[in-house]
């Protein structure tokens, strides 16, 4: 077969955000749009492109299968020697990271807009991961973006008919050179790895015990990519009842839902758990890297606490006995609950900007074992992505090891370390002008020293502003600097308000407002987080004039 060169013109705005390029599906399906971005992604590999191997997967959303075939043909035309793809183009983000590392490919492409809805009238996305299995750093995505502004042609092999629907190897000769397409089982390699990491026998005993010794587990895959993984790993291997694996068939539009595991979009799981029949509940996002953990009666585990609890209980997971524990990290808006565990255990602790790409260097340098984000992301250095199912298995391991309920584990944790109350307000699809104005005003406020020392009072509680800044991060490994990562207002008691604009939305602006506060007084640990944080939330809304500038009286989602 011969490759051909196809003429094209640049599209505006092909700039990857917090995690890949995300746009309306209707933008991606325009003639040449996907091809342009893929060509620039391949071209950005430079000398490494010719003869390299790449992994390819996706979360099963609308257009994923078509895009997979396009990408295979473009890889073949660009001198890539091998593409490893999950059957039907299906592979979760963490499984793809696992495959890149296991088969030592030179990188990988994931077709997903993650927690954004899917379908012709929703979103599509493309993420690029490098050879370490992690999201490409800004230096790479900036380079890709630069190329998209001048692209004039791309390469493909129009005669090629790759079959992604059956496991096996297909060989082609393109421009006289061999090209291999290897279609693999989407779950197998990931499952084998999970078996090395966790004590499956202990989890199985917990899930298949009898009477009170049996843990009733409910998992909701939100019609995302995790369904087949839950089926094979939890049901087939670990003995979870098949009827407790809910929404396990990946659908191109996620059944019309918003595949984001939080209290609003996974309300059906919350409702089911509130009935008190199940002891443990989990939900996952579209591409399987996020998780939400619930205990009996819908007891909510905040992702910030989840990270801290896992950090405090790593001895329940065999993997960490083998590797040792190197250090912990969290994204800046994530509460400092895990920092307290780090202090107690004498571990190095890192605070990075929002986005998983910032953890990779620290892991590669052997300084980081466990990390997480408040946005329902938890993971470790077993791969270079956050890992939803891994987090659920970590929690099941802890429940098995401690022989306590989820709620007891949390209460015990707060008793020992104190409680970091946390909430996040999301205002989705806000008018861009109002959101920008709010950030401009906040940036002016933080550069005005006269605000320091001012007192703010709401609902009878007063807070004194002690420090303000816009978070900036210097990567300790490669020295790269990331600026403007979020406006922070820090009060004299350590309470924080953080504002930033989302980098994953596809329409208008999404404002994220994070509020957190530490409480050492045990008599307050069981109070409701929303009640506890109400004064600070009101202060945040009034300082930022969010309601006035955006016209929004209420957030879209509260976590
Ligand atoms: C959001 C989260 C961030 C996460 C990112 C990708 O980014 O806040 O913590 O890493 O999504 O998650 P933003 O810029 O919208 O706040 V995923 O599961 O959508 O790849
Ligand atoms: Co995701």
State how far the Cα of 429 lies from the Cα of 450, in Å rounded to an integer. Answer: 33
Query: Percentage of residues in the chain with pLDDT exceeding 90?
Result: 93
127 lines ligand 1 (CB under 6 A): no
289 lines ligand 1 (CB under 6 A): yes
Alpha carbon of 52 to ligand 1 centroid (Å): 29
290 lines ligand 1 (CB under 6 A): yes
> 280-284 and 217-220: which strand pairing?
parallel
Which atom of ligand 1 sits closest to the CA of residue 376? 9
Q: What is the pLDDT of residue 40?
A: 97
Q: What is the pLDDT of residue 508?
A: 81
Q: What is the pLDDT of residue 32?
A: 97
Helix (H) or strand (E) holding 513: strand 509-519
**Range of weakest confidence among 96-110, 195-209, 521-535:** 521-535
Q: What is the pLDDT of residue 17?
A: 87
pLDDT in tens, 295-343: 999 999 999 999 999 999 999 999 999 999 999 999 999 999 999 999 9
Confidence of residue 19 (pLDDT cuts 50, 70, 90): confident
339 lines ligand 1 (CB under 6 A): no
Q: What is the pLDDT of residue 18?
A: 85
Q: What is the pLDDT of residue 507?
A: 76
156 lines ligand 1 (CB under 6 A): no
Measured from the Cβ of residue 94, the count of other Cβ atoms closer than 10 Å reads 29
137 lines ligand 1 (CB under 6 A): no
State how far the Cα of 68 lies from the Cα of 55, in Å rounded to an integer. Answer: 11
Q: What is the mean pLDDT of residues 160-183?
A: 97
pLDDT in tens, 399-418: 999 999 999 999 999 999 99
- Model confidence at 28: pLDDT above 80: yes
355 lines ligand 1 (CB under 6 A): yes
Integer-rounded Cα radius of gyration of the chain: 23
Residue 186's contacts (CB-CB under 8 Å, 6 or more residues apart) are 57, 86, 87, 88, 90, 91, 92, 95, 228, 229
Q: What is the mean pLDDT of residues 530-547?
A: 94
State how far the Cα of 147 lies from the Cα of 41, in Å rounded to an integer. Answer: 8
Q: What is the mean pLDDT of residues 154-171?
A: 96
State how far the Cα of 182 lies from the Cα of 168, in Å rounded to an integer. Answer: 6
481: burial class by Cβ within 10 Å (0-12, 13-18, 19+)? exposed
CA distances from 504 to 8, 438, 451 (A): 26, 19, 32
pTM above 0.75, yes or no: yes
Residue nearest to atom 18 of ligand 1 (CA): 114
CA neighbours closer than 13 Å in the CB half-sphere of residue 162:
36
Query: Percentage of residues in the chain with pLDDT exceeding 70?
Result: 99
Residues in a beta bridge with 180 = 82, 171
Nearest ligand (C-alpha, residue 513): 1
Residue nearest to atom 17 of ligand 1 (CA): 114
Residues in a beta bridge with 558 = 425
Q: What is the mean pLDDT of residues 526-534?
A: 91
Under a CB-based contact definition with an 8 Å cutoff, are residues 130 and 107 in contact? yes
Q: What is the pLDDT of residue 494?
A: 84
- Model confidence at 394: pLDDT above 80: yes
Q: What is the mean pLDDT of residues 242-271?
A: 94
State how far the Cα of 95 lies from the Cα of 93, in Å rounded to an integer. Answer: 5
CATH code given to domain 4-184: 3.40.120.10
Q: What is the pLDDT of residue 167?
A: 97
Q: What is the pLDDT of residue 541?
A: 96
Q: Which two tokens stand for residue 307?
A: 């990270």
Under a CB-based contact definition with an 8 Å cutoff, are residues 76 and 3 in contact? yes
Topology of the domain covering 419-558: TATA-Binding Protein (3.30.310)
CATH architecture of the domain covering 189-417: 3-Layer(aba) Sandwich (3.40)
The sign of the torsion formed by the CA atoms of 175, 146, 38, 139 equals positive
Confidence of residue 209 (pLDDT cuts 50, 70, 90): confident
Measured from the Cβ of residue 523, the count of other Cβ atoms closer than 10 Å reads 7
Looking at every residue in the chain, the average pLDDT score rounds to: 95
Q: Give the residue range(s) of CATH 3.30.310.50 domains in the chain.
A: 419-558
Nearest ligand (C-alpha, residue 557): 1
375 lines ligand 1 (CB under 6 A): yes
- Model confidence at 505: pLDDT above 80: no
Residue 254's contacts (CB-CB under 8 Å, 6 or more residues apart) are 61, 117, 118, 119, 222, 223, 224, 286
SS3 of 205-242? HHHCCCHHHCCCEEEECCCCCCHHHHHHHHHHHCCCCH
Q: What is the mean pLDDT of residues 380-387?
A: 98
Which atom of ligand 1 sits closest to the CA of residue 331? 9
pLDDT in tens, 371-381: 999 999 999 99
373 lines ligand 1 (CB under 6 A): yes
Q: What residues are labeled active site? A: 114
Q: Is 276 left (phi over 0), alpha (psi -120 to 50) or beta?
A: left
Under a CB-based contact definition with an 8 Å cutoff, are residues 532 and 420 in contact? no
- Model confidence at 53: pLDDT above 90: yes
Q: What is the pLDDT of residue 459?
A: 87
Q: What is the mean pLDDT of residues 1-28?
A: 94
Mutate to test the pocket of ligand 1, among 21, 335, 377 (most ligand atoms within 8 A of CB): 377
Nearest ligand (C-alpha, residue 285): 2
Q: What value, to the nearest 5°, has the Cα angle with vertex 182 and ends 61 and 392?
A: 50
- Model confidence at 385: pLDDT above 90: yes
Residue nearest to atom 8 of ligand 1 (CA): 375
pLDDT in tens, 433-489: 999 999 999 999 999 999 999 999 998 889 999 999 999 999 999 999 999 999 999
Under a CB-based contact definition with an 8 Å cutoff, are residues 390 and 382 in contact? yes
**Cα 468 to chain centroid, rounded:** 27
Alpha carbon of 446 to ligand 2 centroid (Å): 32
% helix, strand, coil for the chain, step of 5: 40, 25, 35
Residue with tokens 């008919």: 161
Residue nearest to atom 2 of ligand 1 (CA): 375
Q: Give the residue range(s) of CATH 3.40.120.10 domains in the chain.
A: 4-184, 189-417
Which atom of ligand 1 sits closest to the CA of residue 510? 15
Q: Which two tokens stand for residue 94?
A: 């963490």
Alpha carbon of 19 to ligand 1 centroid (Å): 7
Q: What is the pLDDT of residue 37?
A: 98
Nearest ligand (C-alpha, residue 376): 1
Q: What is the pLDDT of residue 324?
A: 94
State how far the Cα of 18 lies from the Cα of 64, in Å rounded to an integer. Answer: 20
Residue nearest to atom 1 of ligand 1 (CA): 504
Which atom of ligand 1 sits closest to the CA of residue 373? 9
Q: What is the pLDDT of residue 504?
A: 83
State how far the Cα of 294 lies from the Cα of 276, in Å rounded to an integer. Answer: 11
Residue nearest to atom 6 of ligand 1 (CA): 19
Cross-sheet strand order for the sheet of 21-24: 21-24, 123-130, 107-111, 53-58, 82-86, 177-184, 168-174
The sign of the torsion formed by the CA atoms of 412, 371, 374, 341 equals positive
Alpha carbon of 184 to ligand 2 centroid (Å): 22
544 lines ligand 1 (CB under 6 A): no
């Amino acid at each position: 077969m011969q490759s051909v060169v196809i003429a094209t013109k640049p599209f505006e705005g092909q700039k990857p955000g917090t995690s890949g390029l995300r746009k309306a599906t209707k933008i991606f399906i325009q003639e040449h749009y996907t091809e342009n971005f893929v060509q620039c992604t391949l071209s950005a590999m430079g000398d490494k492109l010719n003869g390299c191997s790449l992994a390819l997967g996706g979360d099963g959303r609308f257009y994923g299968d078509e895009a997979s075939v396009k990408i295979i043909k473009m890889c073949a035309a660009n001198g890539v020697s091998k593409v490893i793809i999950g059957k039907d183009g299906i592979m979760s983000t963490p499984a793809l990271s696992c495959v890149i590392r296991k088969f030592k490919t030179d990188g990988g492409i994931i077709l997903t807009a993650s927690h954004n809805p899917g379908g012709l009238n929703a979103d599509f996305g493309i993420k690029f991961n490098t050879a370490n299995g992690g999201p490409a750093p800004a230096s790479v995505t900036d380079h890709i973006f630069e190329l998209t502004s001048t692209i004039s042609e791309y390469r493909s092999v129009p005669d090629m008919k790759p079959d992604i629907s059956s496991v096996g190897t297909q060989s082609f000769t393109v421009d006289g050179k061999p090209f291999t397409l290897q279609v693999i089982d989407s779950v197998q390699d990931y499952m084998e790895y999970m078996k090395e990491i966790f004590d499956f026998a202990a989890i199985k005993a917990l899930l298949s015990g009898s009477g009170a010794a049996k843990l009733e587990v409910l998992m909701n895959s939100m019609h995302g990519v995790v369904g087949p993984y839950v089926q094979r790993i939890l049901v087939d291997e670990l003995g979870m009842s098949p009827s407790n694996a809910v929404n396990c068939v990946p659908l191109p539009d996620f059944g019309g839902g918003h595949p984001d595991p939080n209290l609003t979009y996974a309300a059906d799981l919350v409702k089911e758990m509130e009935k008190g029949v199940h002891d443990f509940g989990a939900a996952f996002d579209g591409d399987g890297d996020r998780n939400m953990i619930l205990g009996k009666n819908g007891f909510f585990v905040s992702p910030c606490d989840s990270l801290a609890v896992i950090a405090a209980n790593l001895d329940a997971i065999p993997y960490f006995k083998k590797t040792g524990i190197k250090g912990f990290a969290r994204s800046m808006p994530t509460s400092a609950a895990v920092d307290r565990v780090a202090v107690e255990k004498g571990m190095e602790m890192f605070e990075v900007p929002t986005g998983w790409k910032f953890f990779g260097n620290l892991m590669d340098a052997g300084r980081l074992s466990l990390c997480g984000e408040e946005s329902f992301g938890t993971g470790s250095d077993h791969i270079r992505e956050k890992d939803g199912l891994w987090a659920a298995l970590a929690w099941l391991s802890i429940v098995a090891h401690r022989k306590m309920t989820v709620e007891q584990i949390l209460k015990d944790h707060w008793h020992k370390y104190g409680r970091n109350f946390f909430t996040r307000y999301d205002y989705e699809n806000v008018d861009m002008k109002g959101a920008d104005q709010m950030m401009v005003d906040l940036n002016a406020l933080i550069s005005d020293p006269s605000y320091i020392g001012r007192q703010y009072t709401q609902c009878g509680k007063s807070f004194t502003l002690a420090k303000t800044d816009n978070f900036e991060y210097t990567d300790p490994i490669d020295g790269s600097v990331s600026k403007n990562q979020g406006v922070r207002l820090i009060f004299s008691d350590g309470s924080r308000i953080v504002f930033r604009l989302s980098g994953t939305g596809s329409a208008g602006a999404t404002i994220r407002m994070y509020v957190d506060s530490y409480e050492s007084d045990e008599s307050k640990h069981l109070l409701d987080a929303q009640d506890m944080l109400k004064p600070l939330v009101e202060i945040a809304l009034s300082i930022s004039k969010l309601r006035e500038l955006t016209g929004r009286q209420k957030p879209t989602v509260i976590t």
